[in-house]
Amino acid sequence: MPESLTIGLIQFKPRWGDVESNLAATAEMFTTASKKGCHVVVLPEMWPTGMYGDLDFHRFKQTVPGHFTDFLTEHAKKNSFFIIAGMPERGVGNQIHNTSVMVSDEGVILAKHRKVQVYTFLGEEKIWTPGDTFTVVDTTIGRVGLLVCYDGDFPESWRINALMGADIVFHISAYESPCENWWDKFYPAAALQNVVWSVLCNTVGDTVLNGEPLHLFGRSRIIAPDGEIIAEAPYVPKGKNSESYLLVKTVQARKQLAEARSKFGNFIRDRRPEVYGTILERPRN
pLDDT per position as a tens digit, 15-31:
999 999 999 999 999 99
d(CA 120, CA 97): 15
Note the pLDDT of residue 125: 96
Task: Provide the CB-side half-sphere exposure for 175 (13 A, CA).
Answer: 30
How many residues does the structure list for the chain?
285
Note the pLDDT of residue 283: 83
Burial of 102 (0-12, 13-18, 19+ CB in 10 A): buried
Residue 224 lies in a domain: yes
Q: What percentage of the chain's residues is helix, strand, coil (to nearest 5)?
A: 30, 30, 40
d(CA 264, CA 114): 30
Residue 184 lies in a domain: yes
Whether residue 162 is predicted with pLDDT greater than 80 in this model: the reply is yes
Whether residue 189 is predicted with pLDDT greater than 80 in this model: the reply is yes
**CATH no. for residue 148?**
3.60.110.10
- pLDDT digit string, tens, across residues 93-110: 999 999 999 999 999 999
Residue 83 lies in a domain: yes
d(CA 151, CA 235): 22
How far lies 127's CA from each of 55, 63, 147, 281, in Å? 11, 17, 19, 26
Structural domain that includes position 141: 5-280
270: confidence class by pLDDT, cuts 50, 70, 90: very high
Q: Is 172 helix (H, G, I), strand (E, B) or coil?
A: strand
- pLDDT digit string, tens, across residues 110-153: 999 999 999 999 999 999 999 999 999 999 999 999 999 999 99
d(CA 247, CA 259): 25
Query: For all residues of the chain together, what is the average pLDDT?
Result: 97
Give the contacts of 156 (CB within 8 A, at least 6 positions apart): 279
Note the pLDDT of residue 242: 87
Average pLDDT over residues 176-201: 98
Note the pLDDT of residue 246: 98
Helix (H) or strand (E) holding 207: strand 204-209
Evaluate whether 165 touches 136 at the Cβ level (below 8 Å).
Answer: yes
How many C-beta neighbours within 10 Å does residue 211 have? 6
% of the chain surpassing 90 pLDDT:
96
d(CA 36, CA 150): 31
Note the pLDDT of residue 239: 86
Q: What is the pTM of this model?
A: 0.97
184: confidence class by pLDDT, cuts 50, 70, 90: very high
Number of structural domains (the chain) is 1
d(CA 48, CA 176): 18
d(CA 3, CA 214): 40
Whether residue 284 is predicted with pLDDT greater than 90 in this model: the reply is no
257: confidence class by pLDDT, cuts 50, 70, 90: very high
Whether residue 50 is predicted with pLDDT greater than 80 in this model: the reply is yes
- pLDDT digit string, tens, across residues 79-96: 999 999 999 999 999 999
DSSP β-bridge partners for residue 229 = 223
Residue 285 lies in a domain: no
